[in-house]
Chains A and B, each alone.
Chain A
Amino acid sequence: MKPAPFGYLRADSLDQALDALARHGDEARVVAGGQSLLPMLNMRLTKPAVLVDVMRIQALREPVPERGALVIPAGVRQAILLDRPGLADDLPLLAAALPWVGHVQTRARGTLCGSVAHADPSAEIPLCLVALEGEVRLRARKRRRSVRAEDFFTGMMVTERADDELIEAVRYPTRAAGTGYAFAEVGRRHGDFAIVACAAVVDARRMRLAVGGVADRPTARDFPLLDGSALDDALNAFAWDLGAGEDLHATARYRRDLVRQLGRRVLSEARQDSLRCRS
């Protein structure tokens, strides 16, 4: 398995990358960590004319704390973020989910923005972005915009991003007082893509559950604070509404059951966590 021929451009600056994307349009692909793109190139599932490597752009290498959020630029690798001091305090959901993204050897190269761009419906990094109501910051040569995570993912590996746009950064809201977080997933083996992954965010008024691996994109729903059979009913309705399908890894029924079980577990853990943070 070898990729079809392509040209290669190693951008040293953001402008160079954006110029190249403007010039080549849908013929060009960004390459970041390569952990999703290279398998597709090797299997010739995609045959771009030009790859634009963004990993040497100095300005995109460091996460930037903002008020109430951490902004993670395109050059930040998953392993680097996971090692960031204080990550578990600032972004408990990402700290819990990142170890489930592939393996040590793939996190060493893969980026957060690359995972968001790739938009695999079972990927953990987009799931957390949707759960936390984060944003995707897109930049083209003459435009800049910020898209809410929930609007960014539009289908199975399809997003709002235009061909000439780079995901400059993703913005993850950091821990808010009195809010609790929890993550859980079931896969065939650790490091495999999730069959179902769930992320919960709970505060004094609202429970938010985001589910990956079931619908064609990470999908969230807000509930009031529910317990007992009211919660069971709400989770069951959500599980059905996600329209689970059947594939090699799991039946639709098993996926719905995982949404109910994992959903209940993460909501309860996040609620506990929110109470702890309030006191």
Chain B
Amino acid sequence: MPQLDAGARHRVRFTLNGAPAEVEVEPRTLLTDALRHGLGLTGTHVGCEHGVCGACTVAIDGVPARACLTLAVGVEGCDLRTVEGLAPEPGRLGVLQAAFRRHHALQCGFCTAGILMSLDAYLRLRPRAGRAELTEVVGGHLCRCTGYAPILAAALEAAAILRGEDPSGPATREATDAEKAHA
């Protein structure tokens, strides 16, 4: 039973975007701060720090979760994924990221990392998720710029591509029509 003292720093080990990682933190350190300040990974954004905005969302053991409501000492041994893990190699975009770009699903980009991580984790769990389900997933995030319609269009298109379907098929056409209606 690890018992960690309040003032002291403690080493926490976990898997981060597929590679072993470790960071030294106090028990009170939030996962957001451990990632940003401890590991220098500033892709995970911090908005409200009380679970409401979704900007800090990362995948913990495959499910999307708020990093600002997670203690860094609590993720010992966990499998974490952050937005830094989405691109297949430097200078290239992942499928979801590319769809976001095509559909103008971001403007200022503050909310984007969190939304990408929610969608990435969710689509791995439920590759066949449709519009209603993805609307709920995106509903866990605040975006003040886009009005959400292009985010959903991008999500539906990416989901189709990830399923190996023709991205100009019915699911995506529905998305594009919605975008036109929105424009």
The answer to whether A binds B is: yes
Binding site for B on A (CB under 8 A): 1-13, 16, 31, 34-35, 38-39, 41-43, 49, 51, 53, 55, 79, 99, 102-106, 108-109, 189-191
Q: Is the CB of A7 within 8 A of B4?
A: yes
Tell me which residues across on chain B come within 8 A of A10, comparing CB atoms: 1-2, 73-74, 76
Contact with B51, one of A3, A12, A106 (Cβ below 8 angstroms): A106
Q: Is the CB of A7 within 8 A of B27?
A: yes
Q: Please give the distance in Å from B58's CB to the nearest CB on chain A.
A: 10
A271 to B26, CA, bound (A): 54
Does chain A have a CB within 8 A of B14? no
Main secondary structure of the interface of A (DSSP, over half): loop
Closest 10 interchain pairs by CB?
Answer: A103-B140, A8-B27, A39-B50, A38-B69, A108-B63, A5-B6, A3-B28, A8-B4, A105-B140, A1-B49
Q: A42-B68, A189-B139 are in contact. List 17 more A-B contacts (CB 8 A).
A: A2-B33, A6-B27, A8-B3, A31-B74, A38-B30, A39-B51, A39-B69, A41-B28, A42-B49, A43-B50, A51-B71, A55-B74, A103-B140, A108-B63, A108-B65, A109-B60, A191-B139
Question: Which residues between 128 and 183 of chain B lie within 8 Å of chain A, taking CB atoms?
Answer: 136-137, 139-140
A10 to B71, CA, bound (A): 12
Q: Is the CB of B65 within 8 A of A109?
A: yes
Question: Which residues between 67 and 118 of chain B lie within 8 Å of chain A, taking CB atoms?
Answer: 68-71, 73-74, 76, 118
| CB contact under 8 A between A9 and B50, given known A35-B69, A104-B64, A108-B65 | no
A191 to B118, CA, bound (A): 15
Q: Is the CB of B140 within 8 A of A106?
A: yes
| CB contact under 8 A between A106 and B66, given known A10-B1, A35-B51, A191-B140 | yes
Binding site for A on B (CB under 8 A): 1-7, 26-28, 30, 33, 49-51, 54, 57, 60, 63-66, 68-71, 73-74, 76, 118, 122, 136-137, 139-140
Tell me which residues across on chain A come within 8 A of B65, comparing CB atoms: 105, 108-109
Tell me which residues across on chain B come within 8 A of A6, comparing CB atoms: 6, 27-28
Tell me which residues across on chain A come within 8 A of B27, comparing CB atoms: 5-8, 51
Q: Is the CB of A5 within 8 A of B71?
A: no
Tell me which residues across on chain B come within 8 A of A39, comparing CB atoms: 50-51, 69
A38 to B71, CA, bound (A): 8
A38 to B3, CA, bound (A): 19
Q: Is the CB of B74 within 8 A of A53?
A: yes
Q: Is the CB of A108 within 8 A of B30?
A: no
Q: Is the CB of A34 within 8 A of B71?
A: yes
A189 to B70, CA, bound (A): 24
Q: Please give the distance in Å from A139's CB to the nearest CB on chain B.
A: 18
Tell me which residues across on chain A come within 8 A of B137, comparing CB atoms: 103-104
A1 to B27, CA, bound (A): 15
A10 to B60, CA, bound (A): 18
Tell me which residues across on chain A come within 8 A of B68, comparing CB atoms: 38, 42
A41 to B30, CA, bound (A): 11
Q: Please give the distance in Å from B6's CB to the nearest CB on chain A.
A: 4
Tell me which residues across on chain B come within 8 A of A103, comparing CB atoms: 54, 136-137, 139-140
Q: Is the CB of B139 within 8 A of A34?
A: no
Q: Is the CB of B139 within 8 A of A5?
A: no
| CB contact under 8 A between A16 and B1, given known A39-B69, A105-B65 | yes
A110 to B90, CA, bound (A): 35
| CB contact under 8 A between A5 and B7, given known A104-B137, A105-B66, A108-B63 | yes
Tell me which residues across on chain B come within 8 A of A189, comparing CB atoms: 139
Which residue in chain B gives the minimum CB-CB distance to A106?
A: B51
Tell me which residues across on chain B come within 8 A of A12, comparing CB atoms: 1
| CB contact under 8 A between A104 and B136, given known A2-B30, A6-B27, A39-B51 | yes
A53 to B2, CA, bound (A): 10
Tell me which residues across on chain B come within 8 A of A49, comparing CB atoms: 6
| CB contact under 8 A between A42 and B50, given known A31-B71, A191-B139 | yes
Q: Please give the distance in Å from B156's CB to the nearest CB on chain A.
A: 17
Q: Please give the distance in Å from B7's CB to the nearest CB on chain A.
A: 6
Which residue in chain B gives the minimum CB-CB distance to A99?
A: B136
Which residue in chain B gives the minimum CB-CB distance to A37?
A: B69
Contact with B70, one of A2, A9, A34, A191 (Cβ below 8 angstroms): A34
